[in-house]
């Protein structure tokens, strides 16, 4: 099982969610509003001739734990739907998940995902 954590533009969230919900084996999602900074740091804006930098930009964090077989499908959807080609499109972090336990039924592993 893999955890897919994607930090994306907030305005891309609904397109990403609609597409993810069509994936067979989709088991749920956690969405968090976050503030972040990539390599280009913030955005420089001007106001009345003064330049100032907004160093943290609002983003949305999407987290899903999926079985390995659908990982490629999930990352492909996020890559397509989150893309604008401009700086700040975000990143996808993928990590291994040891185990999952559904508290209600005590099921564990992939059985607990779907």
Ligand X SMILES: Nc1ncnc2c1ncn2[C@@H]1O[C@H](COP(=O)(O)OP(=O)(O)OP(=O)(O)O)[C@@H](O)[C@H]1O
Residue numbers at the binding site for ligand X (CB under 6 A) = 7, 34, 36-40, 57, 59, 87-91
14: partner contacted, choices Mg ion, ligand X, none (Cβ within 5-8 A by kind):
none
By CB under 5 A, is residue 87 in contact with Mg ion?
Answer: yes
40 binds Mg ion (CB under 5 A): yes
- Compare residues 11 and 21 and give the one whose CB is closer to ligand X: 11
Q: How far apart, in whole angstroms, are the C-alpha atoms of residue 1 and residue 66?
A: 6
| 8-state DSSP, 86 | S
DSSP element (H, E) containing 38 = none
Give the interface segment with Mg ion, choosing from 18-26, 33-41, 46-54, 59-67 (CB under 5 A): 33-41
- Range 68-103 burial, b when 16+ CB lie within 10 A, else e: eebeebbbebbeebbeeeeeeebeeeeeeeeebeee
Q: How far is the CB of 104 from ligand X (least distance, A)?
A: 33
């Amino acid at each position: 099982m893999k955890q897919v954590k994607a930090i994306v533009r907030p305005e891309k969230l609904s397109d990403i969610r609609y597409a993810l919900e069509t994936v067979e084996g989709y088991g749920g999602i956690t969405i968090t509003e976050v503030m972040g900074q990539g390599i280009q740091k913030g955005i420089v804006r001007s106001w009345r001739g003064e330049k100032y930098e907004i160093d943290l930009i609002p983003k949305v964090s999407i987290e899903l734990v999926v079985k390995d077989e659908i990982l490629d499908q999930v990352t492909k959807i996020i890559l397509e739907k989150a893309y604008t080609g401009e700086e700040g499109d975000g990143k996808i972090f993928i990590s291994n998940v040891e185990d999952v336990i559904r508290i209600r039924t005590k099921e564990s592993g992939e059985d607990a995902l779907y």
